[in-house]
Amino acid sequence: MKNTKEMRTWLDDLQLNHPLVIAGPCSAETENQVLKIAHELKDTDVNYYRAGIWKPRTRPGNFEGVGALGLKWLQKVKEETGLKTATEVANRTHVELALEHDIDLLWIGARSTVSPFIVQEIADALKGTDKIVLVKNPVNPDLPLWLGAIERLNSADIKNLGVIHRGFSTYEKSKYRNNPEWQIAIELQTRFPDLPLINDPSHITGKRDMIFDVSQTALDLNFDGLMIETHVDPDNAWSDAAQQVTPDRLVQIMQDLRIRKETDPEADYNNQLNNLRAQIDVVDHQLIELLGKRMKVADGIGQLKKQKNVAVLQSKRWNEILGKMVLEGSDNGLSEEFVLRLFKAIHQESINHQEKIINK
Ligand code: PEP
Ligand code: MN
Protein backbone atom coordinates (compact mmCIF):
# COMPACT_ATOMS: atom_id res chain seq x y z
CA MET A 1 0.00 0.00 0.00
CA LYS A 2 1.11 3.54 -0.70
CA ASN A 3 1.32 6.19 1.97
CA THR A 4 -2.02 6.12 3.71
CA LYS A 5 -1.48 9.65 5.08
CA GLU A 6 -2.31 10.91 1.58
CA MET A 7 -5.64 9.17 1.77
CA ARG A 8 -6.99 11.47 4.40
CA THR A 9 -6.00 14.73 2.77
CA TRP A 10 -9.54 15.19 1.50
CA LEU A 11 -10.91 14.93 5.03
CA ASP A 12 -8.27 17.20 6.58
CA ASP A 13 -8.88 19.74 3.80
CA LEU A 14 -12.50 20.05 4.90
CA GLN A 15 -11.21 21.39 8.26
CA LEU A 16 -14.33 20.26 10.07
CA ASN A 17 -14.92 20.94 13.73
CA HIS A 18 -17.33 18.03 13.90
CA PRO A 19 -17.41 14.50 12.46
CA LEU A 20 -17.96 14.26 8.72
CA VAL A 21 -21.67 13.86 8.01
CA ILE A 22 -23.08 12.14 4.95
CA ALA A 23 -26.88 12.23 4.97
CA GLY A 24 -29.79 11.90 2.61
CA PRO A 25 -32.32 9.27 1.62
CA CYS A 26 -31.59 5.60 1.16
CA SER A 27 -32.99 5.98 -2.37
CA ALA A 28 -33.70 8.85 -4.69
CA GLU A 29 -37.44 8.40 -5.32
CA THR A 30 -38.68 11.52 -7.09
CA GLU A 31 -37.11 14.83 -8.01
CA ASN A 32 -39.32 16.55 -5.51
CA GLN A 33 -38.34 14.19 -2.69
CA VAL A 34 -34.62 14.53 -3.44
CA LEU A 35 -34.75 18.34 -3.53
CA LYS A 36 -37.00 18.67 -0.50
CA ILE A 37 -34.69 16.65 1.72
CA ALA A 38 -31.64 18.48 0.38
CA HIS A 39 -33.13 21.88 1.18
CA GLU A 40 -33.88 20.74 4.72
CA LEU A 41 -30.30 19.58 5.15
CA LYS A 42 -28.73 22.62 3.54
CA ASP A 43 -27.96 24.65 6.66
CA THR A 44 -26.97 21.76 8.92
CA ASP A 45 -23.68 19.99 9.60
CA VAL A 46 -24.21 17.76 6.56
CA ASN A 47 -21.15 17.69 4.29
CA TYR A 48 -22.27 15.27 1.59
CA TYR A 49 -25.75 14.57 0.35
CA ARG A 50 -26.30 10.90 -0.33
CA ALA A 51 -29.00 9.22 -2.40
CA GLY A 52 -29.02 5.71 -3.84
CA ILE A 53 -29.71 5.76 -7.57
CA TRP A 54 -29.12 2.09 -8.32
CA LYS A 55 -30.38 0.00 -5.42
CA PRO A 56 -28.98 -3.45 -4.86
CA ARG A 57 -31.89 -5.36 -3.36
CA THR A 58 -31.51 -8.73 -1.77
CA ARG A 59 -34.42 -10.12 -3.77
CA PRO A 60 -35.82 -8.92 -7.08
CA GLY A 61 -39.18 -7.27 -7.24
CA ASN A 62 -38.47 -4.49 -4.74
CA PHE A 63 -37.77 -0.92 -5.81
CA GLU A 64 -34.45 -1.05 -7.61
CA GLY A 65 -33.73 2.65 -7.93
CA VAL A 66 -34.63 5.33 -10.44
CA GLY A 67 -31.38 4.90 -12.37
CA ALA A 68 -29.40 7.55 -14.22
CA LEU A 69 -32.31 9.98 -14.15
CA GLY A 70 -31.64 10.50 -10.45
CA LEU A 71 -28.15 11.81 -11.19
CA LYS A 72 -29.75 14.88 -12.78
CA TRP A 73 -31.65 15.44 -9.54
CA LEU A 74 -28.39 15.26 -7.58
CA GLN A 75 -26.87 17.83 -9.93
CA LYS A 76 -29.81 20.06 -9.15
CA VAL A 77 -29.21 19.51 -5.43
CA LYS A 78 -25.69 20.85 -5.86
CA GLU A 79 -26.86 23.86 -7.89
CA GLU A 80 -29.69 24.77 -5.54
CA THR A 81 -28.15 24.04 -2.14
CA GLY A 82 -24.38 23.90 -2.64
CA LEU A 83 -24.31 20.49 -0.96
CA LYS A 84 -21.77 18.07 -2.38
CA THR A 85 -23.26 14.82 -3.66
CA ALA A 86 -22.68 11.11 -3.06
CA THR A 87 -24.03 7.90 -4.53
CA GLU A 88 -23.28 4.18 -4.73
CA VAL A 89 -21.66 2.75 -7.85
CA ALA A 90 -21.63 -0.96 -8.60
CA ASN A 91 -20.18 -1.28 -12.09
CA ARG A 92 -18.28 0.54 -14.85
CA THR A 93 -21.39 2.15 -16.33
CA HIS A 94 -22.45 3.54 -12.96
CA VAL A 95 -18.98 5.03 -12.50
CA GLU A 96 -18.99 6.65 -15.93
CA LEU A 97 -22.45 8.11 -15.42
CA ALA A 98 -21.65 9.33 -11.90
CA LEU A 99 -18.46 11.04 -13.13
CA GLU A 100 -20.34 12.61 -16.06
CA HIS A 101 -22.78 14.09 -13.56
CA ASP A 102 -19.99 15.36 -11.33
CA ILE A 103 -20.92 13.33 -8.26
CA ASP A 104 -18.34 14.29 -5.60
CA LEU A 105 -18.19 11.11 -3.56
CA LEU A 106 -18.75 7.57 -4.78
CA TRP A 107 -19.10 4.59 -2.52
CA ILE A 108 -18.84 0.90 -3.15
CA GLY A 109 -21.68 -0.99 -1.49
CA ALA A 110 -21.40 -3.97 0.82
CA ARG A 111 -22.68 -6.35 -1.83
CA SER A 112 -20.00 -5.20 -4.28
CA THR A 113 -17.08 -5.30 -1.85
CA VAL A 114 -17.52 -9.06 -1.61
CA SER A 115 -16.62 -9.42 -5.29
CA PRO A 116 -13.01 -8.76 -6.30
CA PHE A 117 -14.15 -8.82 -9.98
CA ILE A 118 -16.58 -5.96 -9.41
CA VAL A 119 -14.17 -4.02 -7.23
CA GLN A 120 -11.47 -4.34 -9.90
CA GLU A 121 -13.89 -3.18 -12.60
CA ILE A 122 -14.82 -0.14 -10.52
CA ALA A 123 -11.17 0.57 -9.69
CA ASP A 124 -10.25 0.44 -13.40
CA ALA A 125 -13.13 2.75 -14.30
CA LEU A 126 -12.07 5.22 -11.61
CA LYS A 127 -8.34 5.04 -12.30
CA GLY A 128 -6.54 8.20 -11.18
CA THR A 129 -9.70 10.03 -10.15
CA ASP A 130 -9.55 12.74 -7.53
CA LYS A 131 -13.13 12.05 -6.47
CA ILE A 132 -13.61 10.66 -2.99
CA VAL A 133 -14.16 6.91 -2.99
CA LEU A 134 -15.42 5.09 0.09
CA VAL A 135 -15.52 1.32 0.47
CA LYS A 136 -18.24 -0.21 2.58
CA ASN A 137 -17.32 -3.36 4.44
CA PRO A 138 -18.32 -6.58 2.71
CA VAL A 139 -21.62 -8.14 3.77
CA ASN A 140 -19.80 -10.99 5.51
CA PRO A 141 -17.36 -10.42 8.41
CA ASP A 142 -14.23 -10.83 6.31
CA LEU A 143 -11.49 -8.28 6.93
CA PRO A 144 -9.15 -9.45 4.10
CA LEU A 145 -11.96 -8.91 1.57
CA TRP A 146 -12.39 -5.36 2.83
CA LEU A 147 -8.62 -4.75 2.81
CA GLY A 148 -8.38 -6.26 -0.68
CA ALA A 149 -10.90 -3.77 -2.02
CA ILE A 150 -8.99 -0.85 -0.50
CA GLU A 151 -5.75 -2.17 -1.99
CA ARG A 152 -7.31 -2.52 -5.46
CA LEU A 153 -8.46 1.12 -5.37
CA ASN A 154 -5.14 2.27 -3.98
CA SER A 155 -3.29 0.47 -6.80
CA ALA A 156 -5.52 2.25 -9.30
CA ASP A 157 -4.13 5.59 -8.06
CA ILE A 158 -7.28 6.64 -6.33
CA LYS A 159 -5.93 8.96 -3.68
CA ASN A 160 -8.97 10.17 -1.81
CA LEU A 161 -10.03 7.00 -0.11
CA GLY A 162 -11.99 6.06 2.97
CA VAL A 163 -14.09 3.26 4.39
CA ILE A 164 -17.61 2.87 5.70
CA HIS A 165 -18.42 0.41 8.45
CA ARG A 166 -22.04 -0.73 7.93
CA GLY A 167 -22.04 -3.95 9.94
CA PHE A 168 -22.07 -7.59 8.86
CA SER A 169 -24.88 -9.93 8.09
CA THR A 170 -25.43 -12.91 10.34
CA TYR A 171 -27.63 -15.92 10.22
CA GLU A 172 -28.25 -15.73 13.94
CA LYS A 173 -30.95 -13.50 15.30
CA SER A 174 -29.56 -10.23 16.62
CA LYS A 175 -30.92 -6.89 17.74
CA TYR A 176 -29.04 -5.34 14.83
CA ARG A 177 -29.91 -5.54 11.16
CA ASN A 178 -26.19 -6.01 10.54
CA ASN A 179 -23.98 -6.92 13.48
CA PRO A 180 -21.41 -4.19 14.13
CA GLU A 181 -18.54 -6.59 14.95
CA TRP A 182 -16.68 -3.49 16.10
CA GLN A 183 -13.45 -5.43 16.48
CA ILE A 184 -13.19 -5.73 12.68
CA ALA A 185 -13.43 -1.97 12.23
CA ILE A 186 -10.94 -1.49 15.06
CA GLU A 187 -8.51 -3.85 13.38
CA LEU A 188 -8.85 -2.00 10.09
CA GLN A 189 -8.23 1.27 11.92
CA THR A 190 -5.13 -0.20 13.56
CA ARG A 191 -3.74 -1.30 10.18
CA PHE A 192 -4.55 1.98 8.42
CA PRO A 193 -4.72 4.65 11.10
CA ASP A 194 -4.86 7.42 8.48
CA LEU A 195 -7.69 6.00 6.43
CA PRO A 196 -10.90 7.96 7.14
CA LEU A 197 -13.37 5.66 8.84
CA ILE A 198 -17.07 6.45 8.62
CA ASN A 199 -19.81 4.65 10.51
CA ASP A 200 -23.21 3.86 8.98
CA PRO A 201 -25.52 3.38 11.98
CA SER A 202 -28.57 3.20 9.68
CA HIS A 203 -27.57 -0.07 8.07
CA ILE A 204 -26.09 -1.45 11.29
CA THR A 205 -29.23 -0.93 13.33
CA GLY A 206 -32.04 -1.09 10.79
CA LYS A 207 -34.04 0.90 13.35
CA ARG A 208 -34.08 4.63 13.76
CA ASP A 209 -34.30 4.61 17.57
CA MET A 210 -30.97 2.77 17.87
CA ILE A 211 -29.04 5.13 15.60
CA PHE A 212 -27.94 7.53 18.31
CA ASP A 213 -26.30 4.88 20.51
CA VAL A 214 -24.39 3.27 17.67
CA SER A 215 -23.22 6.69 16.46
CA GLN A 216 -21.95 7.51 19.95
CA THR A 217 -20.04 4.24 20.17
CA ALA A 218 -18.49 4.98 16.76
CA LEU A 219 -17.34 8.42 17.88
CA ASP A 220 -15.96 6.95 21.10
CA LEU A 221 -13.96 4.56 18.93
CA ASN A 222 -12.48 7.54 17.02
CA PHE A 223 -14.48 7.15 13.83
CA ASP A 224 -14.14 10.18 11.55
CA GLY A 225 -17.72 10.50 10.46
CA LEU A 226 -21.25 9.18 10.10
CA MET A 227 -23.48 8.25 7.20
CA ILE A 228 -27.12 8.53 8.31
CA GLU A 229 -30.08 7.88 6.05
CA THR A 230 -32.42 10.86 6.20
CA HIS A 231 -35.85 11.32 4.64
CA VAL A 232 -38.65 13.88 5.00
CA ASP A 233 -41.21 11.08 5.31
CA PRO A 234 -39.23 8.08 6.59
CA ASP A 235 -42.22 5.82 7.18
CA ASN A 236 -43.21 6.06 3.55
CA ALA A 237 -39.71 5.72 2.10
CA TRP A 238 -39.50 3.33 -0.84
CA SER A 239 -36.58 1.46 0.75
CA ASP A 240 -35.20 1.05 4.29
CA ALA A 241 -38.15 2.93 5.84
CA ALA A 242 -37.57 1.76 9.43
CA GLN A 243 -34.01 3.06 9.63
CA GLN A 244 -34.35 6.57 8.18
CA VAL A 245 -34.64 9.68 10.33
CA THR A 246 -36.12 13.09 9.57
CA PRO A 247 -33.79 16.04 8.98
CA ASP A 248 -34.89 17.48 12.36
CA ARG A 249 -33.97 14.27 14.12
CA LEU A 250 -30.60 14.22 12.37
CA VAL A 251 -29.84 17.72 13.64
CA GLN A 252 -30.85 16.64 17.14
CA ILE A 253 -28.64 13.55 16.97
CA MET A 254 -25.66 15.65 15.89
CA GLN A 255 -26.33 18.07 18.73
CA ASP A 256 -26.60 15.38 21.38
CA LEU A 257 -23.55 13.35 20.41
CA ARG A 258 -20.55 13.78 22.65
CA ILE A 259 -17.90 14.85 20.21
CA ARG A 260 -14.33 15.05 21.39
CA LYS A 261 -12.34 17.38 19.29
CA GLU A 262 -10.15 19.39 21.70
CA THR A 263 -6.43 18.90 21.27
CA ASP A 264 -4.85 20.01 24.56
CA PRO A 265 -2.81 17.29 26.27
CA GLU A 266 -5.47 16.65 28.88
CA ALA A 267 -8.11 16.18 26.17
CA ASP A 268 -5.75 13.94 24.23
CA TYR A 269 -5.36 11.75 27.25
CA ASN A 270 -9.13 11.65 27.73
CA ASN A 271 -9.67 10.84 24.07
CA GLN A 272 -7.28 7.93 24.25
CA LEU A 273 -8.80 6.71 27.48
CA ASN A 274 -12.32 6.92 26.05
CA ASN A 275 -11.24 5.11 22.94
CA LEU A 276 -9.67 2.29 24.93
CA ARG A 277 -12.68 2.08 27.22
CA ALA A 278 -14.99 1.85 24.24
CA GLN A 279 -12.87 -1.04 22.98
CA ILE A 280 -13.18 -2.73 26.37
CA ASP A 281 -16.95 -2.27 26.25
CA VAL A 282 -17.05 -3.95 22.86
CA VAL A 283 -15.04 -6.92 24.07
CA ASP A 284 -17.03 -7.23 27.32
CA HIS A 285 -20.23 -7.30 25.32
CA GLN A 286 -18.80 -10.08 23.17
CA LEU A 287 -17.70 -12.01 26.27
CA ILE A 288 -21.20 -11.95 27.72
CA GLU A 289 -22.74 -12.96 24.41
CA LEU A 290 -20.29 -15.83 24.04
CA LEU A 291 -20.86 -17.03 27.59
CA GLY A 292 -24.60 -16.97 26.93
CA LYS A 293 -24.03 -19.01 23.78
CA ARG A 294 -21.87 -21.50 25.66
CA MET A 295 -24.55 -21.87 28.29
CA LYS A 296 -27.18 -22.61 25.63
CA VAL A 297 -24.98 -25.43 24.31
CA ALA A 298 -24.57 -26.72 27.86
CA ASP A 299 -28.37 -26.67 28.19
CA GLY A 300 -28.56 -28.86 25.08
CA ILE A 301 -26.12 -31.31 26.65
CA GLY A 302 -28.28 -31.26 29.81
CA GLN A 303 -31.33 -32.27 27.76
CA LEU A 304 -29.41 -35.14 26.18
CA LYS A 305 -28.13 -36.37 29.52
CA LYS A 306 -31.64 -36.24 30.90
CA GLN A 307 -32.94 -38.41 28.05
CA LYS A 308 -30.18 -40.98 28.57
CA ASN A 309 -30.21 -40.65 32.35
CA VAL A 310 -26.50 -39.81 32.46
CA ALA A 311 -24.82 -38.00 35.39
CA VAL A 312 -24.21 -34.27 35.00
CA LEU A 313 -20.51 -34.34 35.84
CA GLN A 314 -18.01 -36.33 33.78
CA SER A 315 -14.72 -35.50 35.42
CA LYS A 316 -12.48 -36.96 32.69
CA ARG A 317 -13.97 -34.67 30.05
CA TRP A 318 -13.80 -31.74 32.43
CA ASN A 319 -10.11 -32.25 33.22
CA GLU A 320 -9.36 -32.41 29.51
CA ILE A 321 -11.06 -29.05 28.96
CA LEU A 322 -9.16 -27.46 31.84
CA GLY A 323 -5.80 -28.74 30.58
CA LYS A 324 -6.48 -27.46 27.07
CA MET A 325 -7.65 -24.06 28.26
CA VAL A 326 -4.64 -23.57 30.55
CA LEU A 327 -2.38 -24.10 27.53
CA GLU A 328 -4.39 -21.80 25.26
CA GLY A 329 -4.55 -19.27 28.07
CA SER A 330 -0.80 -19.23 28.39
CA ASP A 331 -0.50 -18.65 24.60
CA ASN A 332 -2.73 -15.61 25.13
CA GLY A 333 -0.85 -14.18 28.08
CA LEU A 334 -3.24 -15.45 30.77
CA SER A 335 -2.00 -17.04 33.96
CA GLU A 336 -2.88 -20.62 34.87
CA GLU A 337 -4.47 -19.45 38.09
CA PHE A 338 -6.78 -17.06 36.26
CA VAL A 339 -7.82 -19.60 33.62
CA LEU A 340 -8.59 -22.19 36.28
CA ARG A 341 -10.68 -19.76 38.32
CA LEU A 342 -12.51 -18.52 35.23
CA PHE A 343 -13.33 -21.99 33.95
CA LYS A 344 -14.38 -23.27 37.34
CA ALA A 345 -16.89 -20.43 37.53
CA ILE A 346 -18.15 -21.14 34.01
CA HIS A 347 -18.33 -24.86 34.76
CA GLN A 348 -20.26 -24.27 37.96
CA GLU A 349 -22.83 -22.21 36.08
CA SER A 350 -23.18 -25.00 33.46
CA ILE A 351 -23.69 -27.58 36.19
CA ASN A 352 -26.34 -25.39 37.81
CA HIS A 353 -28.12 -25.11 34.47
CA GLN A 354 -27.92 -28.85 33.78
CA GLU A 355 -29.04 -29.77 37.30
CA LYS A 356 -32.14 -27.68 36.76
CA ILE A 357 -32.84 -29.39 33.43
CA ILE A 358 -32.27 -32.91 34.68
CA ASN A 359 -34.43 -32.45 37.75
CA LYS A 360 -37.27 -30.73 35.95
C1 PEP B 1 -27.04 2.03 1.13
O2 PEP B 1 -26.17 2.74 1.67
O3 PEP B 1 -28.17 2.43 0.82
C4 PEP B 1 -26.75 0.60 0.93
C5 PEP B 1 -27.37 -0.12 0.01
O6 PEP B 1 -25.88 0.15 1.81
P7 PEP B 1 -25.12 -1.25 1.97
O8 PEP B 1 -24.28 -1.41 0.75
O9 PEP B 1 -24.35 -0.98 3.21
O10 PEP B 1 -26.17 -2.31 2.15
MN1 MN C 1 -30.35 1.89 2.57
User: Which domains can be identified in the chain, with CATH numbers?
Assistant: 4-256 (3.20.20.70), 268-358 (1.20.59.10)
Kindly report, residue by residue over 297-356, the tens digit of the pLDDT.
Answer: 999 998 988 888 887 777 888 889 999 999 999 999 999 989 999 998 998 898 888 888
Closest by alpha carbon to 25, among 198, 318, 209, 243?
Answer: 243
pLDDT (0 to 100) of residue 172: 81
Closest by alpha carbon to 91, among 119, 130, 57?
Answer: 119
- Site to substitute for ligand 1 among 62, 115, 166, most atoms within 8 A of C-beta: 166
Quick one: pLDDT band at residue 280, thresholds 50, 70, 90? very high
- Please check the confidence at residue 40 and state whether its pLDDT lies above 80: yes
More confident residue, 313 or 212: 212
User: What percent of the chain lies above the pLDDT cut of 70?
Assistant: 98
Kindly report, residue by residue over 100-155, the tens digit of the pLDDT.
Answer: 999 999 999 999 999 999 999 999 999 999 999 999 999 999 999 999 999 999 99
How much distance in Å is there from the Cα of 220 to the middle of ligand 2? 24
Say if ligand 1 is within 6 A of residue 166 CB.
yes
Can you tell me the distance from the alpha carbon of 126 to that of 92, in angstroms, rounded to the nearest whole number? 8
Q: What's the mean pLDDT in 238-246?
A: 97
Displacement of CA 91 from its chain's centroid (Å): 22
Can you tell me the distance from the alpha carbon of 181 to that of 170, in angstroms, rounded to the nearest whole number? 10
For residue 48, the surrounding DSSP H or E stretch is strand 48-50
Handedness of CA 74, 75, 81, 85 (dihedral sign): positive
Say if ligand 1 is within 6 A of residue 203 CB.
yes
pLDDT (0 to 100) of residue 272: 85
Quick one: pLDDT band at residue 262, thresholds 50, 70, 90? low
pLDDT (0 to 100) of residue 265: 77
Residue 240's alpha-carbon distances to 26, 56, 102, in angstroms, are 7, 12, 26
Say if ligand 1 is within 6 A of residue 110 CB.
yes
Say if ligand 1 is within 6 A of residue 109 CB.
yes
How much distance in Å is there from the Cα of 179 to the middle of ligand 1? 14
Can you tell me the distance from the alpha carbon of 20 to that of 215, in angstroms, rounded to the nearest whole number? 12
How much distance in Å is there from the Cα of 16 to the middle of ligand 1? 25
- Please check the confidence at residue 283 and state whether its pLDDT lies above 70: yes
